[in-house]
Amino acid sequence: MRNIFIVLKHEFLTTIRKPSFWVTTFLLPGMIILLNIGTQVVSQDAFSNEDQLIPGTDLSAQAENITHPQVIGYVDEADILTQLPPSLPAGLLQAYATETAANDALNAGEISQYYLIPADFLQEHNVLLVSQEFSPFNVGSEDFFNYVIAYGLTGDEMEAAVYTNPTFSVYSHDVAPQELSNGNDNGSPLTFFVPYAVMFIFFFLITMSSGFMLQSVTREKENRTAEVLLLSLRPRELMLGKVLGLSMVALLQMLFWFGGGMIALDRVQQMLDMLSTFTLPAGFIVWGIGFFVLGYLLYASVMGAVGALAPNAREGGQFTFVILLPLMIPLWLNYVFIESPNGTLATALSLIPFTAPVSMMTRMVATTVPVWQILVSLGGLALTTYVLVLIAARFFRADTLLSDASFHWKRIFTELRRA
């Protein structure tokens, strides 16, 4: 037991001291989170001042809900706006006799922008908008001012609204609306984005953490450290110490990624009130830890077996894609988990042990999964992991760890029979 603890401590400290570990564990997800929050802040700031007033409705009531009401100026050289819509909020529009006066008010910060209705408007039908700052997104008040001009020409609010937007409105109604997932609104963007995020987080965590096992074993074979270790350790003690030590590294990664993900989710919901109703399913963290740990042990044991047989990291890395291929299947079929999370394909992938860690956790976020399916998936994953750990342990022998023989698939069956 003491030898296992020594290997465990060595693997944990050696891995976390690598700069590459902190880049993948902290800096990379941190940059993703900062980019996510930063773009949300920028977009919210860009559009925060673009609250639109809908023509033909109670404009005064709408103006009370505008976060940053701004005064809009206008210069009416065509003498069209002899009267303004009665529902227009008081003080929203400010008339100026000349363009010079409007420019002075704009420079002084009294108005955010102003419209110039030239004297030949009835012939040319052109209006000039002058704003202090350029913004490609600044398109919030054109329809509103078109409505004001239409009212000035017609003198009737409803008629002006029809002239501004003569098209009819179409309202959709689902006869059989899709079932809400975990009580969340399917119209919320997070209902689509969060399952994708969970899928990629579990995929990257399992692949990166299990990859540490392959790197550790092949590195010690290349630099002949394995020869020294086997003088005082039994091969299975070496394997168990590595698996447990790197499992602690994997849990540390999971803490950073999940913690950062929860912070980003909370931040986005605070910034966008329409998404504040999204909640993760009950017991999500507990189930997530269970599926992640078992998924890590499953793939780490296979990686360890490949590392024991491969003479170097280059040859071992050639088989990484084939080993991780089952985990990639849910990523290729990600649309299935969003559109039909309780469908046959998504359910089957969540019950197959090699795809269960990613598939089941994605389904749990996308929809309500029956408890019996979660338990069957977790039980099958645990049983498969146990069998693979026992098989991988048979490859951890002195003759395989010290061998320089080339690695190929036929050798796997040969070494297994020898074990």
Written as tens digits, the pLDDT of the chain (419 aa) is 777 777 778 777 877 787 777 777 766 665 655 555 455 455 544 444 444 555 555 554 444 444 444 788 899 888 888 888 887 777 788 889 899 998 988 888 888 888 899 988 888 888 888 887 655 444 445 667 788 888 888 888 787 777 777 765 565 555 544 444 555 555 556 666 777 778 888 888 888 888 888 877 777 776 666 655 665 667 667 777 888 888 888 888 777 777 766 776 666 666 655 445 667 777 888 898 899 889 988 998 888 888 777 777 777 777 788 888 898 898 888 888 888 888 899 999 999 999 999 999 889 888 888 999 999 999 999 999 988 888 887 777 766 767 667 766 677 777 677 65
Dihedral pair phi/psi, residue 96, rounded to 5° = -130, 140
Read off the pTM. Answer: 0.60
How high is the pLDDT of residue 59?
52
> CB–CB of 358/195 below 8 Å?
no
Residue 415: partners with Cβ closer than 8 Å, 6 or more residues away: 309, 394, 395, 400
> CB–CB of 302/412 below 8 Å?
no
Give, in order, the Cα–Cα distances in Å from 252 to each of 17, 21, 29, 92, 288.
13, 11, 13, 55, 14
β-sheet bridge partners, residue 96: 75
Residue 172: partners with Cβ closer than 8 Å, 6 or more residues away: none
CA distance 139 to 71: 15
How high is the pLDDT of residue 271?
61
Ordered by where they begin, the domains of the chain are 2-41+184-418 (no CATH), 59-164 (3.40.190)
Number of H helices, E strands in the chain: 20, 4
Residue 317: partners with Cβ closer than 8 Å, 6 or more residues away: 214
Look up residue 143 and give its amino acid: D
How high is the pLDDT of residue 137?
46
β-sheet bridge partners, residue 113: 72, 131
How high is the pLDDT of residue 270?
64
β-sheet bridge partners, residue 115: 74, 129
Burial 163-187 (b: 16+ CB within 10 A, else e): bbeeeeeeeeeeeeeeeebbebeee
User: Largest Cα–Cα distance in the chain?
Assistant: 99
For the chain, the straight-line distance linking the first and the last C-alpha, in angstroms and rounded, comes to: 24
Q: Where does 223-343 have alpha helices with state H?
A: 225-229, 235-271, 284-309, 313-317, 320-332, 334-339
How high is the pLDDT of residue 173?
52
Q: Which of 204, 208, 405 is nearest to 300 (CA)?
A: 208
> CB–CB of 48/140 below 8 Å?
no
Residue 381, exposed/middle/buried by CB under 10 A (0-12, 13-18, 19+)?
A: buried
CA distance 93 to 194: 43
Q: Which of 350, 14, 336 is nearest to 202 (CA)?
A: 350
Give, in order, the Cα–Cα distances in Å from 284 to each of 297, 338, 401.
20, 18, 40
> CB–CB of 402/227 below 8 Å?
yes
Burial 1-21 (b: 16+ CB within 10 A, else e): eeebebbbeebbebbeeeeeb
Residue 375: partners with Cβ closer than 8 Å, 6 or more residues away: none
